[in-house]
Amino acid sequence: MKKQIIFILALFVSTALFSQSPVGSWNGLLKVQGQQIRLVINIQQEENGYKATMDSPDQGAKGIPVDQVTFVNDTLKFEVKMIGVTYAGLMGNDQIIKGTFTQMGMSLPLDLSTIEVKKDKVLRPQEPKAPFPYYSEEVKFFNKIDGDTLAGTLTLPDKKGKFPVVVLISGSGPQNRDEELMGHKPFLVIADFLTRNGIAVLRYDDRGTAQSTGDFQKATSTDLANDAEAAVNFLLARKDINIKKIGLAGHSEGGMIAPMVAARNPKVAFIVLLAGPGLRGKELLELQTGAIAKASGMSDAELAKVLKLNSGAYDLVLHTNDTTKLRTDLTDYLLTTLKDDPTLGENPTQEQLDMKAKAYTVQLSSPWMQYFIKYDPIPTLKKVKCPVLALNGSKDLQVPAKENLAAIRKAFQQSGNKKLTAIELPDLNHLFQQCTTGAPSEYATIEQTFSPTALEEILKWLKKR
């Protein structure tokens, strides 16, 4: 009897020593399209199981609720319904969980450990380093229309003097003052180059981003144009700025916003459109989808299905002004058509269809997307009276050069404004990087942040203003 008790006790101790637990903070690094995204899963023990939250430090998201967490036979599974994420991984004796992260039909390997992960170091040779041979000032300015305060950096060639100035306006999505994305800081590179060459630059965090106040999620391009105009008003009050030479340079959506401001504010002396749209949002999105899909190897048959599905959804947005009704209509439409979406693979489950329909509905019914799909830039471009430089890369798949520059040229021909310079730069992508295919998947892998050729074109044109 005594030996039996000792054996049972030993068995109990052995099990306790080698059992594994998912409790704690688990760190992983997603690598998708050349981008590195850190994730942290915080798991706590509860009486009847586990609860968890997810953080995405690189996207500024913290405490995202995890709907379901299980840990059975050393296998961790969790789901985040609000963003369509599932994960399943097996914990080894080394306390590393090797598994698969799935979101909207895309599956990626993701290993989790309790050790904080660091991103792979990337080389960005163009990124300037202090000390700088010019004056830099942290500034804040107020948007009186919407009540948000924008924080930014004003760089001046010297602390004394009056200088021409360019306000940089970022592309779509919440961007900081450097327009930081895919490990690149294009606005930092542009600001540094222009300031070294005698032109002041103001760049700022988008509303609700970094140090700026406001709610980005509720903003449309019109609201963001108010922010850009607030930047102009701020500069008009400064003694170190030549108020007759205040211009705007907008990238992508910023190239749509700059004409909005210039068309209504005669104080804007010039604008630079960097991959600025000339087509209506719906048409641009369809063109963009086709260009990126072809570069990614999608077949013509699959692309036709995607374009048909998207076009139907965009038409609902175009013809509906009631957001509540739009969400209902989009959900009904998507649940009946997504089964033909080739990006979901063959025979998608009802759960996959529900998740993608929900995510797509949220995206398409957002204030920004509704506005963008409906917006036609041509009427605004016709109202612009100041000189304009429009640059596009020949391998831009997001705002294809040929079609958009043609539309911009046509608008200026119709308005009679002969002060347009439109240039298609060879072999540059949407970020104005020298590239191979132009696909977004290349952005992060390219060391160059912004083409020196494009920088010289901008400077040469600005020197003539």
Q: Domain 135-280+375-462 carries which CATH code?
A: 3.40.50.1820
Domain ranges (residues) in the chain: 22-112, 135-280+375-462, 282-372
Fold for the domain defined by 22-112: Lipocalin (2.40.128)
Handedness of CA 124, 130, 135, 136 (dihedral sign): positive
Q: What is the pLDDT of residue 455?
A: 98
Q: How far, in Å, CA of 111 to CA of 362, rounded?
A: 30
Q: What is the pLDDT of residue 10?
A: 39
Tens-digit pLDDT profile for residues 57-97: 877 778 889 988 999 999 999 998 778 789 999 999 889 99
Tens-digit pLDDT profile for residues 337-370: 988 888 777 777 888 788 888 888 999 999 999 9
Q: What is the pLDDT of residue 157?
A: 98
Q: How far, in Å, CA of 57 to CA of 63, rounded?
A: 10
Which residues in the chain show pLDDT less than 70? 1-19, 33-34, 104-105
Q: What global pTM score does this model have?
A: 0.81
